Chains A and B, each alone.
Chain A
Amino acid sequence: MVTTPTEASHKMSFDSAVIRRDFPLLAKQIDGKPLVYLDSANTSQKPSMVIDAMANFMRESYAPINRSAYTLAANATEQYEGARSAVAKFINANSSLEIVFTKNATEALNLIVHSWGRANLKTGDVVLLTHMEHHANIVPWQMLQQELGIELRWVPLTSDFQLDLTSLTSLLSGVKVFSFTSMSNVLGTINPVEKLCAAAHAAGAIAIVDACQSVPHSPTDVQSWGADFATFSGHKMCGPSGVGVLWGREALLEAMPPFLGGGNMITDVRLDGFTCAELPAKFEAGTPPIAEVVGLGAAVEYLTKIGMANVRQHEIAMSSYVLDLLTNRFGDDITIHGPRNPELRGATFSFAFRGIHPHDISQILDQSNVCVRAGHHCAKPLMKIIGANATTRASFYLYNTTADADTLADALDSASDIF
């Protein structure tokens, strides 16, 4: 007998229907139907708390930071630095000096590659990546490969969409850097970050974690990870676009040359050279995204209030519900590219459905206000490995309910009516 999953049987850790009310955009109706936003792996919606924090800051407190003596500027600096401390605490960094604000996670990864990479790697050095990386953790390394002649190696996948770690020791042999995602933005696979960092260190390599997909969805402790660097975006974790985070161990950041040059990152500039500022200003050249950083601070406060362990619990329950729902309802008509065990994955589902092209699926789902991503998800090498030109991806977050999953399933059925 096919059982219909119910919310109760999937142990929701909080009422996402209540959480949803914190997000004004999700109250929007189009053609009298509610919005079903299933594209949070791409970018998340924003709670009132973040929107208000940014609007209030710009109405009441906006001023330059770090460079003016007047009270308004001092208060703005305090709010900006307050957000840095909040982010440091959120990921359990050793110190807020280890938090560098960037434009996004992509810039944070580029910063590591161009600053640490150029200073520490030479021709023939090996960087280990995995087959499930986002372009942001591939292309900067390939740029360095073209420039320095480094070698790139890849950890392959198992048939159940995990990293295949059977040959990890030999893959890590002679490697200087192991850079990997904590969670695949296509497969939803959650990687064993602590284990991978330990293996990297045992081989004498540094460990870089692209934590873009996991920081918004589960508790993060960079110290217990044992990582050397971690990067993530504000906009995927209820914060605004335009701000990302680089976390690095203080000693590493301290030893690195600056990335972008300009104002704020210096203590002295003379005609014959310059002296770098201390951390973290060294890596924050120019006027930063001030209001956005304040917004990210509010996002961190919002998520902390809800509790990241609760968010993770909710997403395990959602994963379990969505996997049951889609496989019970569609059987062999749907192929989900990702792990079946909800404990091993985030609530991000890439799938193929009845031979209908993902672009057409997303267009038809849009008729039911269901927002999903169609395409290669900025992971073309991975797409090639799983044998798909494009997939449809539905990704769930703390504000998604089982009703959203039900609407997705109904809308998928309507796609079959057309094709």
Chain B
Amino acid sequence: MPSDPYRAMRRQIMAVLLAFGLVPLLAMGAAGYVANRAAIETRTRNLLEAMVKNRKATIDLFLEDRMRDLELVAASFTAEALTDEARLDGLLAQLRREHGGIIDLGLIDSDGVHRAYVGPYNLRDRNYSDQEWFEHVMVQGRYESDVFLGFRRFPHMVMAVRKRDQGRDWVLRATIDTDMLSALVREGGIESGAEVFILNRAGEYQTATAERHTLMARADLGPLPVHSGVRVVTRRSGGSTEFIATTWLRGGSWVLVTRQEAFGLSQLLNAHPAVLGVFVAGLLLVPLLGRVVAVARLRQFRAMERERANLFETAAQSQKMAAIGRLAASVAHEINNPLAIIDAQVGVLSDTLDDLSGVAEASEWRTRLAKIAAQVDRARKVTHRLLGFSRRVGPDIEPVDVAAALEETVSFVEREALASSIRIVREVERDVPLIRTSLAQVQQVFLNLINNAIDAVGAGGEVRIKVGAARDGVEVAIADNGPGIRPQDLDRIFEPFFSTKAGERLHSGLGLAICKDVMQSLGGRISVASTLGKGTCFTLWFPMEAEVGDVGPQTAARG
């Protein structure tokens, strides 16, 4: 039975089931995803907006406080007092203690010379007159820088205020702790996947962000428009989406940015772990179910196919037998007529010989004519057997004693067997039931099988016949101790015209085919077992009641 069509069929069934199972599941998942995405997006945006607003207030406050500190110091002391570094140092210590956020302090005169400095760097006597911020503070009165390198070759930011004292301008300058600023920006309440930092107008980082960006490096956000309040934009690039919330600080010189990776499947699944469970279970269950159904359906298909094949085989066998029947009948007829002529002519010659008793050769002629007559007889038996094969029609069903029928059949052949010192042993059980079947046909089968057995064993052999009750019928076993049948022939011996017999007797090769046909038409069975060198055993089983009405192929053999 070919397996490929079934594999293809199984694939198809699986595909259909998968489609029917997975499509709704995926659709449900997609719908859930879309609905949740909108909700989560809104939530994310709101969160971002609130966070940015809150952070802006904190940072503004920090920067304003530092500026106020500076202005307070500038207003509270004379320039002369501030040039006293010991005092300046005390002030710095106090500021750091009270608020923090300031790293150093310095006083610069109107020529830009750093007159007094307290802090970790060596900046005293530096001249700032050509620095842009110095000019700015002298004109504007106060100044906050971006993060820059300056003389100390290290990113930092400064704040400066102008102080008028006795007609002269001074500048009080402080370095703001950018680490503290960065920490302030980053600290607290940042959602996973979010990034918070400050950029200047040029788009350079003013605060460090989680070790990913260094100060003063340029961010990849491009120019950001100045606006009031908080603005949240959605940016999509290369399959990923992010929300960017911005708000401007310090009157538009800095911008506080929060980047939040847009909502993804992972967030959905984090939000609803059950969804993942249902989905995975569905994914596993649908193919499993598909397989179960496919296998069951295929089993059904296979059974149907087998049944059909059996029916077909039976029908083909019947047709074959019918054709053989017709052929046998016409062949027998064509041969019977010339045989009859030969027989008649031989008869006339024999009759004539009777008148020639005086002739010396008469005896030899008689012997030779007898041989011709014997051969005619032999051929006649063959053709009559062939016709017997084609002649079985509408068997008479009657109560049959199988053992008696067998005994009668054996009596036909026993004399011939004994002549070859072949023993025929009968083992008949007691209480073998009568069965309703066709006596003539049963005897035909017995005769064929017993003749075969006698042929097989040869002189001195033994044929053993057992008769006994079997389940729902009667069983007959006809065994010989002949040479046995080769395994490769065993399957074919019931085929018409198959014969392994060789030798002087003529065999049509139809004997066993007829037996099988008869047994089938009587609703019985015939089987064979054989061992090379040990012998062969044919087993017949007859039902209690033959199936009437099945006349098989022989009905076609007429005309």
Q: A and B: partners?
A: no
